[in-house]
Amino acid sequence: MAKGGKGPKGKKITLNVAKNCIKITFDGRKRLDLSKMGITTFPKCILRLSDIDELDLSRNMIRKIPDSIAKFQNLRWLDLHSNYIDKLPESIGQMTSLLFLNVSNNRLTTN
């Protein structure tokens, strides 16, 4: 989007920013926490961190989740609550390791 364009200006997440947000949980899992960061678009750079076990993108302003989310084949825990998502990609069904998915408080409908 060109400068001065309409639409919310979100925080730009770089690969280095994302790497600094990875924490190891008490049970040894890699957790990437990008919650409450004012992100407006899915940060494509995090797809290079496909070995993470948990991803928290909650409480942002994300509208769309790309099909490429399925690259996270080891992801067991995905939190997308409190965003502006109106549709989930079909590829999310290919994430066979996923045990927890929170998409509450979005703009999803049954259509």
Within a domain: 70: yes
In a 10 Å sphere around its CB, with 0-12 CB exposed, 13-18 middle and 19+ buried, how is residue 62 labelled?
Answer: buried
**The pLDDT value given to residue 40:** 95
Q: Among 12, 50, 18, which Cα is nearest to 34's?
A: 18
Q: Among 36, 33, 38, which Cα is nearest to 11's?
A: 38
Do residues 51 and 72 lie in contact, with contact meaning Cβ atoms separated by under 8 Å? Answer: no
Stretch 48-68: mean pLDDT: 96
Within a domain: 87: yes
Within a domain: 90: yes
Sheet containing strand 100-102, edge to edge, reads 22-24, 30-33, 54-56, 77-79, 100-102
Within a domain: 52: no
Within a domain: 6: no
**The pLDDT value given to residue 9:** 60
Mean pLDDT of the chain: 90
Stretch 57-75: mean pLDDT: 96
Q: Is the pLDDT of residue 67 over 60?
A: yes
Within a domain: 74: yes
The model carries a pTM of: 0.88
Provide the domain limits for residue 92. Answer: 28-35+57-110
Stretch 75-95: mean pLDDT: 96
Within a domain: 61: yes
Q: Is the pLDDT of residue 107 over 90?
A: yes
DSSP-assigned states of every residue in 31-85: EEE-TTS---S--GGGGGGTT-SEEE--SS------GGGGG-TT--EEE--SS--
The total number of structural domains in the chain stands at: 1
